[in-house]
Amino acid sequence: MKEAVIVAYGRSPSCKAKKGAYATHNMNAIDYTAQVVNGTLKKIPQLKPEMIDDFIFGTAATMNTFAMNSGRNVEHRAELPDSVPSMTINRYCSTGLQAMSLAANYIKTGEMDVVMVCGAEDMTNSFGPLDLTYANKWIMENRIDSLTPMGVTAENVAKRYGISRQAMDELAVASHKNASKAQHEGFFKDSIIPVELDDGSYVTEDEGIRPDTNLDSLALLKPCFDEHGSVTAGNSSQMTDAAACAIIMSSEKADELGIKPIAKFVGFSIAGCHPDEMGIGPVYAVPKLMQRLGLDINKMDVVELNEAFAAQAEYCARELKIPREKLNPWGGAIALGHPQGATGIVLSIKAMDYLKRTGGKYALITMCIGGGMGAAGVLEMC
């Protein structure tokens, strides 16, 4: 088996869905995604775009802007050569990580030498209540749990596993505090590719971080999904528009092109769980991966556990015994948003940038997945 190494990456600033910079400037999501593709390619000029064997694009809402094989439209908008093929994949919240795993496997088996992965989500135009016009009758009658709204799954996790509102709000405060510190120190600038808006101005920073978040103001927020529940706008991931990219190649190809590898894609696992408590997915996916790789969670130098909701993130952190100082040290999706198709790549980028600065070796990336699944991936710094 060959070794799959990540050699370049970049991401757009995360902008608030419907009210952020992309939405208010009428930016089509394919436009900012293509800017991230080109910004990432620019980081390794030794790689000519025609050397890319495949372009794997991922998005969770394969509709509207990103309908059909929209990866091909992203490529065309980025003006990659027609000879570079593309596919579009979807495994909801883990889509970006899944794309990286697919790319790594193509490379490890020798089928391809260079794969570019890209994930994006246009939550402004493609996220909301399901249109039941085409809903499957059998599912509606027999497995309605398959369609449980995400916020309700978080309420279920909170109630079933005793995660208090206080614990959720504490995790939310930590998310904003850590993200705010990282932004202030300029850590996110390492990977943010400024996006040019339609008026020629640039968006350069993530928009969702609220540095003044505190337990008192969070306690005032009303539950969003169940009036007697505890999941609020303050302890849920934000709805965000964003895109992220990574380039993965064999270590031989990197050597040949004189490109310094950043990290190895070591392994990936996926596991299923009950859809109405989808948030607990990492509790199944992480041990499966650790066992297969012969690793232990204590060997991880950083853990990026997606904060779809504080309820599930808190439960998973407790069950997996993740040391708190290693958990989302630069904040998570409660502060930075969860653009589902991009999230797996965004979390990987955050972990690699963190390890570049701190000198650690292993990163664990994990997330729960709508429909009832969990995914996990391990990266090892080169």
Q: Using CB under 6 A, list all residues that contact ligand COA.
A: 93, 150-151, 176, 210, 213, 217-218, 221, 224, 233-234, 236-239, 308, 338, 370
Residue (116 or 368) nearer to ligand COA, CB: 368
CA 306 to chain centroid, in Å, comes to 7
Query: Does the annotation mark 25 as catalytic?
Result: no
How remote is the C-alpha of 120 from its chain's centroid?
A: 9
Q: Output 13 or 370, the one with its CB closest to ligand COA.
A: 370
Between 222 and 321, CB nearer to ligand COA: 222
Q: Is residue 196 within 8 Å of residue 174, measured between CB atoms?
A: no
DSSP letter at 130?
-
CB of 229 or CB of 329, closer to ligand COA: 229
DSSP helix/strand/coil, 24: helix
368 labelled catalytic: yes
Amino acid at 168: M
How, if at all, do strands 240-250 and 263-272 pair?
A: unpaired
Q: Which is nearer to ligand COA, 93 or 270 (CB)?
A: 93
Nearer to ligand COA, 65 or 126 (CB): 126
Cα–Cα distance for residue pair 68/89, rounded to 1 Å: 10
Which listed residue (76, 228, 338, 382) is catalytic? Answer: 338
Active site residue 338: yes
The answer to whether 89 touches 117, Cβ cutoff 8 Å, is no
Minimum separation from the CB atom of position 8 to ligand COA (A): 28
Using alpha carbons only, what angle is made at residue 276 by residues 275 and 282, rounded to the nearest 5 degrees?
A: 60
Determine the longest span between alpha carbons in the chain, in angstroms.
Answer: 60
Task: Spell out the residues 6+ positions from residue 73 whose beta carbon is closer than 8 angstroms to its own.
Answer: 30
The number of beta carbons lying within 10 Å of the beta carbon of residue 259 is 20
Chain centroid, CA 256 distance in Å: 31
CB 379 within 8 A of CB 265: yes
Query: CA-to-CA distance for 248 and 349, rounded, in angstroms?
Result: 13
Catalytic residue among 93, 245, 273, 316: 93
What DSSP character marks residue 239?
Answer: P
By the 8 A CB rule, do 97 and 90 touch?
no
By annotation, the residues acting in catalysis are 93, 338, 368
